[in-house]
Amino acid sequence: MPALWIAHVTVSDEEAYGKYAKLAGPAIAKHGGAFIARGGRYVQLEGKDRPRNVVAKFPSVEAAEACYHSPEYQEALSHARGASERELLIVETSE
* Residue-wise pLDDT tens digits, 2-34: 999 999 999 999 999 999 999 999 999 999 999
β 34-38/84-92 pair status: unpaired
CATH number for the domain including 56?
A: 3.30.70.100
pTM of the predicted structure, to 2 decimals: 0.90
> Is the pLDDT score of 75 beyond 80?
yes
**Strand-pair partners of 86:** 9
Round to whole Å and give the CA distance between 31 and 15: 25
Q: What is the pLDDT of residue 39?
A: 83
> What total of structural domains would you count in the chain?
1
**Strand-pair partners of 6:** 55, 89
Domain enclosing residue 18, as ranges: 3-92
